[in-house]
Structure 1
C-alpha cells in the first residue's frame, strides 16, 4: 500500500487520517515533500501509518521528543529522533534525480495596475480597514481571521477585478500581460502551463 502526497494524513484528528490508519496491508510506503509543516506531531502520525509503535504513543512521543525539541531546542533529542527514523527515510533532492533537465530560469515580470484597478483596489482596502476597525479587542481570534480574509480579497483583486466583483467591466492588467507573453511563446512554437492559486482566475484566463 502506497500513499502519495502523504502530508494529507498528517493531522491525526481528521477523518481522512483516521480512515488511512484503518487500511490493512503487509507493506506500507508513503511519499511526501513536506513530512513536517507545522510541528513534530505530524511526523509522529505519518510513522504511525507506516511503522506503528516505532515512535511510541503520542503522549510518550511528545514527552520524549516533541516537547524537548520544539520548546527547549534540545539538540540531543533531535539527533536521537533523527537516528531513530533515518533507516526508514529515503530522501532525494531534485539535483540528484533530474540531471537531464536544464537549470530553471526564473523571470519576474512586474505588472502595473491601470487607473481603474488602482481605484478599485483602494476602495476595497478602505472597506477592509473599516470592517477591521469595528472588531473589539475581545475578538482577537475573529479579528485575525478577518485580517487574513481581507488580505486574500486584496490578492484576488490584484489578479482580476472579477474575482471580487463578478460583474465588473474593469480590464485586468495581469491578464493583458499574460496574453502578451502567451502570444510570444506560442508564436515561437513553445508550450505553456499556467498556474494560479485561485481556480476562478484560471477559468477567466
Structure 2
C-alpha cells in the first residue's frame, strides 16, 4: 500500500495505510485536518495549527501518521521512557526509540500477536475478525522495577516463524497502563497460541506458525 504524502504550509503529513489500526485518534483529535468518510484527499493539515497536527501524530499508536515539521517547531523524538502496552484481545503497542528489523527506525508501532495479520509484524486488525482472545492485564513479574533507566534504542527482531525478539530497556505495561515488567531482552508471542501471553512459550512450533 502506497504512503500518502500531504504537503501543508507548515508540516508534511505522511500516512501509511498498511500500519493503520483505525484507532480514530486522528479524526477525533483534529476532525477538520483528518476528515472521515470523504471522497478524495482526506488530510488537510492547513486547516489547523501545526501543533494540533503534531499532537494527532503523537497520539497515533500505530505510527501510521507521521509529521515532518517545516515551521521550526519541535519534531517527534524518542519518548522519555520506552514502553510497550499489551492491548486487551489486541496487539502490542510500542512507544520507544524503536528499530524493527527490515522496517527501519520509528517511535510508534502496533505489532500483531494474534498470528493472523497480513501486514506482519504490524497489526492490521485481524484480531477483530478472528475473535482473538488474550488478556490485556498480564500478571506482574517480580523484576518489574529492577531496571530504572528506560531510555535508549529498542530493537525488535521478528524470528522466522517464531516470536518477536525484543532487545533494549523497555517497560511492559497492561492495556490500562499498569507496569507488569521491565526487560532488557525477551521473546513475545506472535502466533496467538502461547499459554504464557504476552510471552512466547514455544507454541509456534506446535501449531506450525508461519510468519510469511
Task: Name which one, 1 or 2, has greater alpha-carbon Rg.
Answer: 1
Q: Which has the higher strand share?
A: 2
Q: Which has the higher helix share?
A: 1
TM-score by length of 2: 0.21
Q: Bigger relative contact order, structure 1 or 2, given CA contacts below 8 A and separation 6+?
A: 2
